Structure 1
């Protein structure tokens, strides 16, 4: 007790507070602020000119290319979030209803792919969806198609399917945690009062799991909209997304100020999605 009391009066609380607030400030806020400042610079004769200019944002809103691509990317990522949530909810529901430690073991198996290399997983999915991949071979064997299909390779369909498979664990986990927190006494009381299983699910389980659903959808949406590697590897020319445009500005175009402006705009979209989700959660509660 004497040691604890002296520690509270000593330099440790100040040091812990400095770490708690200083690390996010140095590694998150400062880079974001510098990135935002960079977006107001401009290029001249192949050189970055430091000076306040709205040319990058003006180019985004006046050029006929960028807004449609951003809208298409948002629709794509919303579809990924919806699919992962719809697929992940039954899986999380089954896991939450299992007894003992088996549910945590199965949950661990679902999360194991997150430890694998992202690029290796993309190559594996692309090999399955390719012209000579497992999916086409299976469809040819069953007679559903007469020749290999390119419906799920090098287009937006491939990006949608690949992102759904890759990000599915990120949807299952928050839904599982929300379902696990539902008191068993509520479900037992509903059963004792004569409610059917469907009524219990509709009136108790589903409403109480809505925060987990919204968290899962938002988490997947944010991860998907910032992904440029998956569209680059499986999207092809018709699978062009906003992330690939940002990547090209920092890579081949070497227009860092415009890339920073596009990144700032994408950050605003992410923040708006998070605020909307929080507002919907408050209304649900």
Structure 2
């Protein structure tokens, strides 16, 4: 048995180490998250005219966003697009997560890791791979032409919003599978056994037990994918073309070709507000109702 003095010294050492650890816990979020956000917020109240920066505080950037007939419709269109992406990823990912959760032993985790392997690949390479499939001379069009289903290459899935929708859906499916799988895995098997003992069929057990208890994971998946999709500018830039313009591309252009950083910062703040609202809605509807409040 350790002596009381040894325990006291160990406790004192832990207390001494805990202060730098606590400081680091607060310092990193402040330095890398809060301060940049505050900087963007402050920058959004400056303005640029004829390439010259003015540091006089103004609301003209936000007024321009709400009065210009371009920006608000693009934001709404982007939100709808990202909601569609989130819905498609959940519809495609739920059966995969359900299958994985039904496995026993290490197989489920091995297959889950294989599903997450594409996340280790370069994002740009994955986009080029999808372009090689959906492009005018891609695998899909050549296969359909060879089968005689179409007479000329389809353009419905390339350089438009449909291409952005499909590409984001394919890229973000793993981010939907993981939270749903974790939610399904936490459901006690005894509840399903009890449902079967009471005479419920497999479909009834799924509809009345499994699906309601997995809804927090579904909401988390929807929010996760929505937030990732709405902040993506690279995918629309590479597969969207002129008709696949999204809000992320507008922000990118303000910091790049337009060189209007204050307006880009204002658009970034507006996008951050949309993301915060989405996370807040997720926190309300994704709460685990099975736990006592």
Fold match by TM threshold 0.5: yes
Deviation at 1:284, TM superposition (A): 5.3
- d(CA) in 2 for partners of 1:173 and 1:144? 37
Aligned partner of 1:16 among 10, 21, 27: 21
**Residue 243 of structure 1 pairs with residue 243 of structure 2:** no
Where does residue 175 of structure 2 map in the other structure?
170
Aligned partner of 1:26 among 5, 23, 31: 31
Deviation at 1:49, TM superposition (A): 1.3
Aligned pairs for 1:107-186 (under 5 A) are 107-186=112-191
**Residue 280 of structure 1 pairs with residue 289 of structure 2:** no
- d(CA) in 2 for partners of 1:67 and 1:238? 16
Aligned partner of 1:63 among 58, 61, 68: 68
- d(CA) in 2 for partners of 1:261 and 1:274? 20
Deviation at 1:281, TM superposition (A): 2.2
Where does residue 6 of structure 1 map in the other structure?
12
- d(CA) in 1 for partners of 2:146 and 2:50? 58
Aligned partner of 1:199 among 187, 201, 204: 204
Moved more, 236-245 or 17-26: 17-26
Runs of 4+ in 1 over 4 A off after TM superposition: none
Where does residue 83 of structure 1 map in the other structure?
88
- d(CA) in 1 for partners of 2:202 and 2:254? 54
- d(CA) in 2 for partners of 1:4 and 1:206? 48
Q: For 2:286, what is the secondary structure of its paired residue?
A: helix
Deviation at 1:123, TM superposition (A): 0.4
- d(CA) in 2 for partners of 1:203 and 1:33? 46
Partner deviation per Cα, 1:60-87 (whole Å, 9 max, x = no partner): 0000000110011000000000000010
Residues 83/262 of structure 1: CA separation in 2 closer, same or farther (3 Å cut):
same
Partner deviation per Cα, 1:192-219 (whole Å, 9 max, x = no partner): 1111101111111001101100000100
Q: Verify the 8 A CA contact 2:216 2:287 in the aligned structure 1.
A: no
Where does residue 78 of structure 2 map in the other structure?
73
Give me the TM-score of the superposition, normalised by structure 1: 0.97
- d(CA) in 1 for partners of 2:245 and 2:43? 25
Q: Verify the 8 A CA contact 2:101 2:184 in the aligned structure 1.
A: yes
- d(CA) in 2 for partners of 1:227 and 1:2? 52
Count of aligned positions:
284
Deviation at 1:143, TM superposition (A): 2.1
- d(CA) in 2 for partners of 1:25 and 1:162? 34
Unaligned runs of 5+ in 1: none
Partner deviation per Cα, 1:242-282 (whole Å, 9 max, x = no partner): 00000000000000000000000000011111111111124
